[in-house]
Structure 1
């Protein structure tokens, strides 16, 4: 499974992506990849994404992304999770949302 995080520039999500990778590995999900990108590269990489996570500052694009890629699961990260870079909490929310 590929989980792609997107924000304005890709920098703020890279730390959270690493925290999430570590947490997935800790929980035994070695087959889950987590990558961070800037929103401008979404069209270039979205084909391989199973889950698209949008940072709070670009939450306004969620409807557009849903319309353009209806086959993809799209979620917006909560500001508290994003700001604290809480990988464990994000992983648990993703697992709950996807039923894994």
Structure 2
């Protein structure tokens, strides 16, 4: 099972996006776990659970450098969610982006 973690300021605004992403996961019977959490829990969750991909809500894009410092040693890809896809709550687009990130990191 692949794990995708989304982080935002409080973990609330990404919850709806997670729901939209899970609709796509369920529709296509994918073996993917997705969850949203507040950034304050990021380091512990990433180090303990080692997700396959980390995505940041656009409102915490400024934390990308810190997240890269946490994720890079663990070979976990991390990026900020496209703000247009986020605003539209386009779960399919965000999920496809995460899957591409995972495949790219595994190809290394």
Q: TM-score, normalised by structure 1?
A: 0.89
SS in 1 for 2:78: strand
1:2 aligns with: 3
Give the paired residue count. 99
1:38 aligns with: 38
| Aligned partner of 1:65 among 64, 67, 79 | 67
**Runs of 5+ consecutive residues of structure 1 not aligned to the other structure:** none
2:90 aligns with: 86
**Runs of 5+ consecutive residues of structure 2 not aligned to the other structure:** none
Q: Deviation per CA, 1:9-49, whole angstroms, max 9, x where unpaired?
A: 111000101110111221221x2000000101102211321
Greater than 6 Å deviation, 4+ residue runs: none
**Separation (CA, whole Å) in 2 of partners of 1:88 and 1:62:** 22
